[in-house]
Structure formats: C-alpha cells, structure tokens
Amino acid sequence: MKAIYLKTAGAIALTAAIAACVPSINVPLLPPEPTVPVAAPAPAPSRDPVPAIQEPRYENYLDAPQTPGTWRYQQSAAGPIAVFVAPDGNGEFLLSCNRRDAAIGFWRSGTSASPRAMRIRTETTARTFQVLQAEDTNPYLTVDVPANDTLLDAMAITKGRFAVEVEGQRTLYLPAWVEVTRVIEDCR
C-alpha cells in the first residue's frame, strides 16, 4: 500500500478520535417568537338573510307531489294573467303578459329587501333569474322575460308540471295547464 493512503487513513482516524473526546453542549433552542392571533374579519351580514327551508329533496322534480291549488285566467288592462291560487285563496305564482313591452312576468309571492334567485325547471330546460321586490305594494318577487323566450315554450309543453324555486321559500310544483299556455300565446 502506498504511504499516502496510510497517512490519510491515520489523519481520518485521529480526527474521529479527537472529535469523540469533545463533550457535546446542549444549547437550548430559542423559544419561538410568540404569534399574536389575528381574527379574520367577520363577513358583512347580508341585508336580508335567506331563511333556511327544510323540504324533501327529489332527484327528479316530476316525482314531487303537485302543489295544492288551481290556475285561474283573467284579463287585465296590460294583458292576460294566469294566477296559481292556493287552497287558502292566496296567489302563489303569477304569469302576466305585458303586451306593451312584449314580456311575460313571473311573480312569486314573498318579500325581500335584496335580490334573490328564482329557478324555473321544466322537463327539457332550467333557467335561473334574479328576482326583485315588486315596485308596487304587492308582496311579490318578480322578473320579466321576453315573450318569445324558449323557456316559456318549455313551460307550456312540459310533461305535467314545472318547478318554481326561490331562495328561502318552499318549491312550487305547478301543473302546466291551459291557463299557462294561453297567457304565453296571447302575449305573442
């Protein structure tokens, strides 16, 4: 073996022996700097919190029982109106024709200081609208759609019924009776 290897091996062994003789010193670690908890800002409360409604969920709205009530058709100065009247006599949902604007209004009973979402579901389509409190004194949330909107056709020809969902209110499962079709056709 070459002399250089012996010298190198001896130097490494001597270094290891000297290092083993040095006592280890336990240096205490510095405590972590205290963190001051910062509270997350609370979300701003909505002007009109949407109440939670507990109602059964149906995979297909056609499996849900029809909302009790009946449709009534009437004429007004602005155009025809179909009103879905509950057994207690209150109008739960209205379809109103505004011939001047060539629009049909969806009116759902209820009040709200802020906009809410209204979803109309039929057998072939679903659409969500932002509804606002009616400008008159009637307690209804309303939105207008053009009289030639394809959603209206889907509502008229749907298989038996369509669903009206509004945040914070129970869902209406309304029959697609002739009054609905008549308002749509009379408005076109």
* Distances 122 to 18, 21, 93, 139, 141 between C-alpha atoms, Å: 87, 86, 16, 25, 20
**What kind of fold does domain 64-187 have according to CATH?**
Immunoglobulin-like (2.60.40)
Boundaries of every domain in the chain: 64-187
Q: According to the model, what pLDDT value does residue 76 have?
A: 85
Q: According to the model, what pLDDT value does residue 34 have?
A: 59
Percent of the chain scored above 90 by pLDDT? Answer: 19
Mean per-residue pLDDT over the chain, rounded: 79
pLDDT at 72 over 90: yes
8 Å CB contact between 105 and 80: no
pLDDT digits (tens, 9 = 90+) for 24-53: 555 455 555 655 555 556 555 555 555 666
